[in-house]
Amino acid sequence: MDKKQIEEMIDLAIRQLDYSYAPYSHFHVGAALLAKNGTYYTGCNIENAAYGSTMCAERNAIANMITNGENEIIKLVCVDSKGNVGSPCGACREYMMQLSKNSKDIEILKNIDTKEIVKLEELIPDWWGKGRV
Ligand code: THU
């Protein structure tokens, strides 16, 4: 993974922490993804008093991409306010698998220091939409 590009994505994800709305968990999350068109799309987690309405940072970044007419994710970075890399939850993994072209090859940052990545397919080999979508 291109280290300079990843640093840029980490910065963008960290910037999203300022916008995160997390009055219930106090756990702030920011995400940045790189789409095939070369554009970065970002998102933060947005909680709600009706807890089930909470949206993860990653899904907001994906929705941001979709609503801007793009449909292919190349890379994703997710961070929390302690500076740790977040591994997308199951719902976000499924979302990415279903909503991106070539989704099994999406690269997800695993380690902020070494810049190690993992492919989405390794995180969710038996996804719900497999063979259905
Ligand atoms: N959260 C994310 O933003 N991304 C994930 O992949 C899992 C969890 C958020 C949801 C909630 O606002 C907070 O983290 C605590 O679970």
> How confident is the model over 54-68, as pLDDT tens digits?
999 999 999 999 999
Q: What's the pLDDT band for 14 if we cut at 50, 70, 90?
A: very high
Residue nearest to atom 13 of ligand 1 (CA): 27
Residues annotated catalytic, as ranges = 58
Predicted TM-score of the model (pTM): 0.97
For residue 33, what are the contacts with CB-CB under 8 A and spacing of at least 6? 9, 40, 41, 42, 58, 61, 62, 65, 73, 74, 75, 76, 77
Ligand 1 pocket: which residues have CB below 6 Å? 22, 25, 27, 29, 45, 47, 54, 56-58, 86, 88-89, 92
Please tell me the predicted confidence (pLDDT) of residue 102: 97
How confident is the model over 63-90, as pLDDT tens digits?
999 999 999 999 999 999 999 999 999 9
Q: Whose CA is nearest to atom 9 of ligand 1?
A: 56
